Amino acid sequence: MMDSLEAAVNPSTEPLTHLWERAEVVVIGAGISGLTLALRLRQGRSAQSVLLAEASPRVGGCISTQSKNGYRWEEGPNSFTPVPPLLNLIAEVGLAEQLVLADAKLPRYIYWEKELLPVPLSPSAAIGSRLLSVGGKLRALQGLLGFVPPPPGREETVRQFFRRQLGSEVAERLVEPFTSGVYAGDPDQLSALAAFPRVAGLEERYGSLFAGALQALRHRPQPSPVAIQPPPQRGQLGNLRQGLQQLPEAIAQKLGDSLRLGWRAVQLKRDEMGYWVGFKTAEGSRWVVARQVVLALPAPEAASLLQELNPPASRLLAGIPYPPVAVVALAYPQEALPQPLRGFGHLIPRSQGLRTLGTIWASCLFPERSPQGYHCFLSFIGGATDPLIAALSPEERAQIVHAELSQILLTRPVEPIRLGERLWPRAIPQYTLGHRQRMAQLQAYLASQTPGVWVCANYLDGVALGDCVRRAEALAQQLLLQAF
């Protein structure tokens, strides 16, 4: 690196040996990706060879559970799809008995023309649904049978793809609000292949959705083994009794002194000894030298660390947009709500003129989340189509959400119980047009210019918790194989 730095950290200089240490792998960022990666690396190496550093005083990243006065709510992800890698991780860290599953039959609603209309989840429900017109249903059926215009020969946005496949009504009334719910994104900006690879990829691989669906039915893979029995049913969503925060905290317990909290990475250098990561800590500056460095950070933070060593990779990371999203937690007495209140929640198409993206009926999903006689609601506001929401005060955002819930759900005027609000200035990475190509370029730049530096985060190829676990375990396996 630099002579001055080598003098400061040279292990032969006895008074300064506490300023630096060596590790085989340094993982930066203790969200679910970094935690899972560090756990798997520790299992395949000696504990001293792995160091996980986190800038904040807590683990979990965007996973954040809050409790107050008998209520419990999530400020980040609210639940997870119980895929095998995530379930097995939950069991491994001792949380199998803490798993709670929501009723798979809970209806999902779309707020359309001043009504909450259930999302049709079966052919018979689709026939009777008032969410689509007769023409809209016929157009969707035509698309499902494979009678669609050919691909345009260029990458399509989410709206373009689903409008071509299933018609404009499905695109506006179902796909657009679902896109808001998953990505807080703009369907006119997101790439269909990047944001919804399982659906859009069917046409890419088999020529049409219809042909792809037939192939999927014929060659359905055997389910992966799951440590939790009986395995969850299809369509169920999971959480933990004390909230999702239990999972990162349980992983952290397994990591022991490999985890360093309050260590903020500020520099990344390289010399013949390896990669030097500079940290700011409460005790002062610290350096760690390692052969491998994994950036399990949001793209802007990773871009900052790579700015000097790998400018092209840094620019690609800095270009990934993250819109702001606020999570507003409100509660209401049961008597002010429809009876019985039963559902997953509702999403709101942008054409309906409301600012709330959607609301999770948290205490319907997981009944122990609120005191008896009350219901807890988590509303999401902002996103790529309404970034100015970040300029409002928490009180103003709560007022907007309450006014819109009053219009949608409440049966009589009542003041809400304000539980809390969390603004995420950079919430969810947006997989805009060209995202897959840019991520391939990113990996190529890392391999060619900074071999031994890796990225592992939700901006790559999937934002769900299960995606983060899958990706971290795959990278851990790759790193462990390189060690032998």
Which residue, among 154, 136, 153, 152, has the nearest Cα to 144 in the 3D structure? 136
CA gap 362, 343 in Å, rounded? 9
CA gap 290, 48 in Å, rounded? 12
Q: Does the CA dihedral 138-144-147-153 come out positive or negative?
A: positive
Q: How confident is the model at residue 123 (pLDDT cuts 50, 70, 90)?
A: confident
CA gap 308, 287 in Å, rounded? 17
CA gap 121, 37 in Å, rounded? 36
CA gap 26, 441 in Å, rounded? 23
**How does the average pLDDT of the chain come out, rounded?**
92
Which residue, among 226, 266, 190, 261, has the nearest Cα to 82 in the 3D structure? 226
Q: Does the CA dihedral 196-197-199-200 come out positive or negative?
A: positive
Q: How confident is the model at residue 47 (pLDDT cuts 50, 70, 90)?
A: low
Q: How confident is the model at residue 2 (pLDDT cuts 50, 70, 90)?
A: very low
Q: How confident is the model at residue 18 (pLDDT cuts 50, 70, 90)?
A: low
pLDDT surpassing 70 at residue 382: yes
Neighbouring-strand partners of residue 455: 295
SS3 state at 362: helix
CA–centroid distance for 4 within its chain: 41
DSSP category for residue 245: T
CA dist list (Å): 9 to 18, 23, 54, 274, 461: 9, 14, 22, 13, 38
Whole-model pTM: value is 0.92
Q: Does the CA dihedral 473-429-356-175 come out positive or negative?
A: negative
Phi, psi dihedral angles at 22 (to 5 degrees): -115, 145
Q: Are 316 and 441 in contact (CB under 8 A)?
A: yes
Sequence-ordered list of residues with C-beta below 8 angstroms from that of 28, at least 6 positions apart, any chain: 34, 53, 265, 277, 293, 294, 295, 296, 297, 305
DSSP category for residue 96: G
Burial 361-399 (b: 16+ CB within 10 A, else e): bbbbbbeebbeeebbbbbbbbbbbbbeebbebeeeebbe
pLDDT more than 90, % of the chain: 83
Tens-place pLDDT, residues 267-278: 999 999 999 999
pLDDT surpassing 50 at residue 3: no
Instruction: Look at residue 217 in the predicted model and tell me its pLDDT.
Output: 73
CA gap 398, 203 in Å, rounded? 42
Instruction: Look at residue 1 in the predicted model and tell me its pLDDT.
Output: 43
Instruction: Look at residue 6 in the predicted model and tell me its pLDDT.
Output: 45
CA gap 45, 455 in Å, rounded? 20
Task: For residue 35, count other CB atoms closer than 10 A to its CB.
Answer: 33
Instruction: Look at residue 4 in the predicted model and tell me its pLDDT.
Output: 41
CA gap 296, 293 in Å, rounded? 9
Q: Are 207 and 214 in contact (CB under 8 A)?
A: no
Average the pLDDT over 373-382 and give the result.
Answer: 97
CA–centroid distance for 455 within its chain: 16
Average the pLDDT over 319-324 and give the result.
Answer: 98
Which residue, among 342, 119, 120, 104, has the nearest Cα to 233 in the 3D structure? 104
Task: For residue 242, count other CB atoms closer than 10 A to its CB.
Answer: 15
State which H helix or E strand residue 160 sits in. Answer: helix 158-166
Q: Counting every residue, how long is the chain?
A: 484
Neighbouring-strand partners of residue 28: 53, 295
CA dist list (Å): 256 to 42, 246, 372: 10, 16, 39
Instruction: Look at residue 9 in the predicted model and tell me its pLDDT.
Output: 43
Query: Per DSSP, which regions of 147-251 are E strands?
Result: 238-240
pLDDT more than 70, % of the chain: 95
What phi-psi label fits residue 422: left (phi over 0), alpha (psi between -120 and 50 degrees) or beta? beta
